[in-house]
Amino acid sequence: MNAFLTRRKNWVALSLTLLTQLVLLGTQVTDRNNVRFLRIWANFLIIPAEQFTSATVDLTSDVWHHYIALRHASEENRQLKERIQALSLEKNRLDAEVQGSQRLKALLDLKEAAPWASVASEVIGSSPSEAFKSIILNTGANAGLTNNLPVLTPEGVVGRIVRVSAHSSWVQLITDSESGVGVVFEKSRIHGVAKGSGGSLLDIEYVVNEENISVGDVIRTSGEDQIYPKDLLVGTVVAMRSGSGIFKRITAVPAAQLSRLEEVLVMKKTPRRE
C-alpha cells in the first residue's frame, strides 16, 4: 500500500486536492431545487449502499420471516389439525347429544302417551352371541322391572325382558328366533304371529293364503300374547308369497331400529300415576 502511494504520489495528491475542492464546491453550490451538491453527492454515494443494505436486510428479513413463518405454519398446521379433530369430536358429540335429545324427547312423548307406567332405560350392551338377539339395559329389579315386560322405542316394539338382575335386565329382541309377537295387519286387521328370523327381519306366520296382504302393509301388536299392549307398531311387510301349505310366507322389517338402540322404554303394565 505504501509502495503504491509512493509510486503514485502525484496522482494521489491530485486526487486529494481535487476531491477537497469538489467537496468545497459541493458545500456551496445548490441545484435547481436548492439542494446542496454535497448532499446530492452524499446521497448518490450513500443511497445505493443504503438500498443495497436495505435490500439485503429486507431479503434476510424476508427469508428469515418466511422461514419462521414456515416453521410457524407447520406448527400452526399441526395445531389447526388438532383443533379440527377436537372440533370434529365436539361436533360429533353435539350431534349425538342432539340425536340423543331427540330420541329422549320421543321416548318421553311415548312415555306420556302410554297408558301404563314405564321406565326409561339405557342400552348398555348386546348379546355377544349372534344366535341370540338380545340387548342389556341399565335398569333392573330395583327399578321395578320383571320378566316379560315389553320394551319399546318411539319407532316401535323392541322386545321383552327375559332376565332381570338388580340393576340390569336382558331384553329378547323381536328378531330373536325364539321370539313371537301377536300382531295384526293395520289395514286388513288380519291376525298373525311375528316370529324372529334370527336375522334382522320378522317372519309373519299363520296368515292363510287367501288373505289379501300387500307389501308395505303395517303390522301392529294385537295384544293377544298378553305381553305387548295392543296397537304398538311392530314393522312393515317387505316381502310376501304364497306358501306350499295353507299359510303365506310373509317377511317384515321391524319398525324399531334394533341394531341402533340406545334408549328404550320398559312398560310396567301397571296403570300410570299422574
For another protein (CB under 8 A), the number of binding residues is: 15
- The CB-of-74 to another protein minimum distance in angstroms stands at 57
CB closer to another protein, 26 vs 180: 26
114 vs 138, 143, 209, 266, CA distance in Å? 21, 18, 35, 11
Residue in 172, 207, 175, 173 with CA at minimum distance from that of residue 189: 207
How many whole angstroms separate alpha carbon 9 and alpha carbon 14? 8
Here's the x/- map for another protein, 144-183, by CB under 8 A: it reads as: ----------------------------------------
54: cell is 436495505
Nine-digit cell string for 45: 454515494
Q: Are 251 and 234 in contact (CB under 8 A)?
A: no
Nearer to another protein by C-beta: 24 or 63? Answer: 24
Of the pair 13, 47, the CB lying nearest another protein is at: 13
Residue identified by cell 301397571 is: 270
Cell 502511494 locates to 5
Site for another protein in 4-63 (CB under 8 A): 9-10, 13-14, 17-18, 21-22, 24-25, 28-29, 31-32, 37
- Closer residue to another protein in complex, CB, 13/63: 13
Q: Which is nearer to another protein, 21 or 200 (CB)?
A: 21
Compute the least distance from the CB of residue 11 to another protein, in Å: 8
Indicate the DSSP class of residue 272. P
**Minimum separation from the CB atom of position 20 to another protein (A):** 8
- Judged by CB, which is closer to another protein: 25, or 124? 25
Q: How far apart are CA 24 and CA 38, in angstroms?
A: 8
Place of cell 348379546: 127
Q: Could you tell me the smallest distance in angstroms from the CB atom of residue 43 to another protein?
A: 16
Rg (CA), the chain: 45
Q: Which of 220, 219, 221, 213 is nearest to 240 (CA)?
A: 213
8 A C-beta contact, residue 250 and residue 231: no
| Cβ 119 vs Cβ 265: under 8 Å | yes
Tell the smallest beta-carbon distance from residue 50 to another protein (Å). 23
Nearer to another protein, 29 or 86 (CB): 29
Q: Which residues bind another protein (CB under 8 A)?
A: 9-10, 13-14, 17-18, 21-22, 24-25, 28-29, 31-32, 37
